[in-house]
Structure 1
Amino acid sequence: MFFLVFLGLAYTSSIDAQHFSLDKHKKVERIKFQKINNVILVPVTLNGAKLTFMLDSGVSAPILFNLSDQDSIQLNNVTTISLKGLGEGEPIEALRSAHNQFKIGEATNTDQSLFVVMDKDLNLSPALGVPVHGIIGYDVFRDFVVEVNYGKSIIKLYNNNEAFKVPKKAQKLTLAIEHKKAFLHASIVRESNKEVPVKLLVDTGSSDALWLFKDSIKGIDLPKKHFEEFLGQGLNGEIYGKRSKIKGIKIGDFFLEETKTAFPYKTSFQAISNLGERNGSLGGEVLKRFNLIFDYSNSVVYLTKNSNFNKPYQYNLSGITLQHNGVRYIAERIADSRGRVKAEHNDSFGNVQIVMDNQTRLSLVPEIVVSSIRAGSPAERAGLQKGDVILSVNGKQVHNYKLQEVLQMLNERKGKRVKLMIERYNDDKKFSFVVEDVFKNKKP
């Protein structure tokens, strides 16, 4: 729930224009998506291979980066290029592939170019807990009117802007389409009630709420109550910054109170030479509060608030970030004391099982590990360490749950005691701590 994905990219190599299309007699294509950690995952077919891509309005061209679970994928017309983006590292070498066939539902592009990143560190799958093979953005938003219904987890691709009906309660806002990305004008509200106009990247590929770039001259200042936190993984390395919240943000006539906000360090943007008038980004934790219709051809977006609008923002109360780290075997007894096989153990936790003497079964399950711990957090004070393997949370074996469900257990509410069983250097250890307000004891 709390791993923050952000891949704002600046390409050193241009990419040719290609187009998606639907059959001319079909007005709309309806696609079911997975909503995990506030991001949108859609099924994609690339040259016949079935994959999962993130729909990311913050990227200008498709990127393929995780091929670990694929036998083979055909890529056409491959050349070597260099990519740079967010993060504190150096530009990375990648591949450029042209003349590929992409399909998203029935929407097809028979001449799609993409980038291929071979760096194993750029892999969203461990943090999201499901396979993710790449990201795609502008090519889809450019060629269709795109409706994103966060409430029903459905995307609709309209063949043209006459094929959809604007919802009665929707508000129409102007988009600025620049360098194949969409920007929205909004206003942040400071504690003094002063409103500061801001220009924000609309970024469906970020699971965070709001990012702001500090600018004292403009009035974008870090609130006094804040703490340092790992914000996410960029193309060129990890991104850190300060976590806080502002009094609110105005988007058109909508006002979101106590908005969760991150202020990334400037070193994360050293690879991007010119941010222009951009002051930050709107991510999934804000965007999911609306159902959205993007019409890039007319530079507008329609917003309708949904059932998520007033839900509280999610914070990493425990201080623990988790990810999948390969697999491990677990042993479960499938027979009672008389040797009779228990009916409730007919199903397995994993796809690979070994049954011994018809009484014990070994199953292969995902291994969940601590990928980072926030300094000064309840988890760090309790003695948890990076690399610890999580075995159970409050008596619940984690292999029975999805990664995001385990994170929810760790951060359910302030004041809750969390008891962990972990494995460290082949030794099982118990830890306990109380989840607390992340702004507790922060100096006003």
Structure 2
Amino acid sequence: MLAKYSPVVIICLRKLMICLGLVLTVFEAKAQEFAFRRDQQQKQSISFKCIKNLIVVPLYVNGKGPYDFVLDTGVGPMIVTDPSIIDSLNFSMLRKIKVSGLGIETVEAFVSQNISARLGNAAMDHVPTAILKEDLFNLSGHLGIKIYGLIGYNFFNSFIVDIRYNENRIIVSNYGAKIKYRGEKIPIIVENQKPYVMASIEIPGGGTVNARFLIDTGASHALSLETLDGTAFPLPAKTISANLGMSLSGQIKGYVGRVKKFKLGDYTFKDVVAGFPDFKTISDKIDLTKRNGNLGADMLRKFNLQINYQQGFIYIKPNSLSKVPFEHDMVGMVIYLDQKEYKRLLIGEIDPNSPAERAGLCQDDEIIGVNFKAVDFYSLNDLTEMFKSKADRSIIFEIYRDKQVFFKVVKLEKRI
């Protein structure tokens, strides 16, 4: 069922935050840091795949792999979503925690510090790890490639991490190595293994407020605005109802709209697409006192970032993506690869009165062709970009439903 929920906020919004808060209390103090295996090595460049704005890196786990993991500033301990990659894993010998969250009564996770990981030449033994017995996020289905987990704080805290979104690579450097910083320096605060930054945002009705944002490379959106002055963040005049995604904490309902201005350091962006999760639902379960919202990768990718956790700052420099306008899905539906049969591209939830609904597309339809090309011709990332490409563009879907084939024409519509 999780596969049918919107990937707009693929991992974000409390992604395991409740769970990992508990995990931190059960880990012993034998965790170390990532370090280069070669004594004289000071830095390394590592290529990554950017899929729906997320950084996917090749990670070796317990000497085997590589396995595709999401590099995510929004998580603390490493998360393994597919336990089959860990040989001789005996769940009965691992400490188990039970977590409740929004829309989910009980979720089991297991914790371990007997797992090693390596990214490039940077390796760490005894990585604090939360292991899920199943992929609750269906990351593989939403990203179109097999994803085995997420890695965050322990890697970012071990190095100065230079993320070059426009080059699809990161450069990791030892603290103390010679670094040429580029762009503007902005202070950050790392609390509970997560980085926060201050930015200003124009609110509806005029006026600008300074707000605290979680820096989240593992969230595909640009902004999530959760709270202001202890209550819901004010909505723009024009919004659409939206399912903002699925986290361990449950399904997140809310709205999508645009904020007129968002300023990070000296850089200002206009008409930014933002999600507004339902305040009552999340505030009943989640502590929102630490932040006003979440700064995701659709915004972060417009910069090349140099992240320094230990000294508490980032450098940001606009790259070639900085002028790309923010756009929302103009079709109004979720697509995903069937988790058991990855060659089947299925339609999940469809927004009411959306172009997809008006064209006669239905939930659970299988897409077998797009614009007279077999669906295998496209990646999920290709289709996601196509759905945001240009208002009034027509897309022809070849659909398999009830043992029949239909052709449906969807005209893209800018809904916000």
TM over 0.5: yes
Alpha-carbon displacement from aligned partner over 1:292-322 (angstroms, at most 9, x marks no partner): 0111111111111101111011311000211
Correspondence for 1:434 among 402, 411, 415: 411
Residue aligned with 2:228, SS: coil
Alpha-carbon displacement from aligned partner over 1:223-274 (angstroms, at most 9, x marks no partner): 1100111212201322221000001111111101111111011355357542
Aligned residues of 1:415 and 1:434 also touching (Cα < 8 A): yes
Aligned residues of 2:136 and 2:248 also touching (Cα < 8 A): no
Q: Distance in 1 between matches of 2:118 and 2:155?
A: 11
Structure-2 residue corresponding to 1:190: 203
How many residue pairs match? The answer is 398
Deviation at 1:113, TM superposition (A): 2.4
Larger RCO (alpha carbons 8 Å, 6+ apart): 2
Correspondence for 1:12 among 6, 22, 36: 22
Aligned residues of 1:100 and 1:111 also touching (Cα < 8 A): yes
Structure-2 residue corresponding to 1:274: 287
Q: Distance in 2 between matches of 1:219 and 1:65?
A: 32
Q: Distance in 1 between matches of 2:78 and 2:232?
A: 35
Q: Distance in 1 between matches of 2:34 and 2:360?
A: 52
Q: Distance in 2 between matches of 1:213 and 1:417?
A: 34
Structure-2 residue corresponding to 1:342: none
Structure-1 residue corresponding to 2:334: 321
Q: CA 1:299–1:79 in 2, change beyond 3 Å: closer, same or farther? A: same
Structure-2 residue corresponding to 1:418: 395
Structure-2 residue corresponding to 1:233: 246
Residue aligned with 2:358, SS: helix
Q: Where in structure 2 are the equivalents of 1:135-284 lying within 5 Å? A: 135-167=150-182, 170-215=183-228, 220-266=233-279, 269=282, 272-284=285-297
TM-score by length of 2: 0.90
Q: Which has the higher helix share?
A: 2
Correspondence for 1:73 among 87, 93, 98: 87
Say yes or no: does 1:285 pair with 2:284. Answer: no
Q: Where in structure 2 are the equivalents of 1:368-379 lying within 5 Å? A: 368-379=345-356
Structure-1 residue corresponding to 2:35: 21
Q: Distance in 2 between matches of 1:410 and 1:192?
A: 31
Which ranges in structure 2 are unaligned for 5 or more consecutive residues? 1-5
Correspondence for 2:75 among 59, 64, 81: 59
Say yes or no: does 1:382 pair with 2:333. Answer: no
Q: Which has the larger radius of gyration?
A: 1
Aligned residues of 1:60 and 1:138 also touching (Cα < 8 A): yes
Say yes or no: does 1:402 pair with 2:407. Answer: no
Structure-1 residue corresponding to 2:3: none
Aligned residues of 1:327 and 1:366 also touching (Cα < 8 A): no
Q: CA 1:427–1:218 in 2, change beyond 3 Å: closer, same or farther? A: closer
Q: CA 1:120–1:217 in 2, change beyond 3 Å: closer, same or farther? A: closer
Residue aligned with 1:12, SS: helix
Cα RMSD, aligned residues only: 2.2
Deviation at 1:204, TM superposition (A): 0.4
Correspondence for 1:49 among 64, 72, 82: 64
Q: Distance in 2 between matches of 1:8 and 1:175?
A: 22
Q: CA 1:182–1:154 in 2, change beyond 3 Å: closer, same or farther? A: same
Q: Distance in 1 between matches of 2:165 and 2:140?
A: 21
Aligned residues of 2:201 and 2:211 also touching (Cα < 8 A): yes
Most deviating of 156-165 and 252-261: 156-165
Q: CA 1:435–1:401 in 2, change beyond 3 Å: closer, same or farther? A: same
Deviation at 1:4, TM superposition (A): 2.7
Supply the AA of the counterpart residue of 1:73: D
Q: Where in structure 2 are the equivalents of 1:43-122 lying within 5 Å? A: 43-50=58-65, 51-67=67-83, 73-75=87-89, 78-83=94-99, 87-122=102-137
Aligned residues of 1:393 and 1:410 also touching (Cα < 8 A): no
Aligned residues of 1:196 and 1:219 also touching (Cα < 8 A): no
Identity across the alignment (%): 28
Aligned residues of 1:2 and 1:315 also touching (Cα < 8 A): no
Q: Distance in 1 between matches of 2:155 and 2:284?
A: 26
Residue aligned with 1:293, SS: strand
Aligned residues of 2:140 and 2:147 also touching (Cα < 8 A): yes
Q: Where in structure 2 are the equivalents of 1:303-342 lying within 5 Å? A: 303-325=316-338
